[in-house]
């Protein structure tokens, strides 16, 4: 008869946090782009920027709706694929290999922001960008 010894290591919350930090730092730094805005000085330019903001709001509303529609479609496809996988076999082990994919689809506002910055500049405003280290700097 063969005896197997299993060693269980229990990590304290502090040790677990330290391990997570080490793993995160191993990824290297992440950066983001920040934008600085200097509005136009004329009344016409200010009205123009107000119009840009309305267009941006409409764009974001449509982006949120499109994101919700895409997520719903992804969720339905995930259900269909899982049910198809489970339905293909009677084997318990093969059924357990089936999984339902996750859907991380969300709204996409990149085009809205890009369009707003362009519109802002066309109205006489100025836009500056700078890259800023966000994590693991």
The structure's pTM equals: 0.62
Give the pLDDT score at 24: 55
Give the pLDDT score at 13: 57
Delimit the domains of the chain by residue range: 13-135
Q: If DSSP states are collapsed to H, E and C, what string results for 1-52? A: CCCCCCCCCCCCHHHHHHHHHHHHHHCCCEEEEEEEEECCCCHHHHHHHHHH
Counting as low any pLDDT under 70, the low residues of the chain are 1-26
Eight-class DSSP state of 127: E
CA distances from 78 to 62, 68, 88, 89, 106 (A): 24, 15, 16, 18, 16
- What is the spatial distance between Cα 54 and Cα 114, in angstroms, rounded to a whole number? 14
Q: Check if the beta carbon of residue 101 is closer than 8 Å to that of residue 80.
A: no
Mean pLDDT, the chain, rounded, equals 86
- pLDDT tens for 85-96 read 999 988 888 888
Give the pLDDT score at 43: 97
């Amino acid at each position: 008869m063969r005896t197997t010894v299993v060693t269980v290591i229990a990590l304290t919350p502090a040790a677990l946090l330290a391990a997570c930090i080490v793993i995160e730092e191993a990824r290297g730094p992440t950066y983001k782009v920040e934008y600085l805005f200097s509005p136009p000085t004329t009344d016409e330019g200010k009205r123009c920027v107000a119009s840009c903001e309305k267009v941006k709001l409409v764009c974001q509303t449509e982006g949120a709706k499109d994101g919700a529609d895409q997520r719903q479609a992804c969720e339905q496809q995930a259900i269909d694929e899982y049910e198809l996988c489970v339905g293909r076999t009677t084997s318990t082990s093969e059924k357990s290999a089936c999984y339902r994919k996750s859907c991380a689809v969300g709204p996409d506002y990149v085009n809205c922001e890009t369009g707003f910055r362009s519109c802002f500049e066309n109205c006489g405003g100025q836009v500056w960008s700078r890259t800023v280290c966000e994590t693991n700097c």
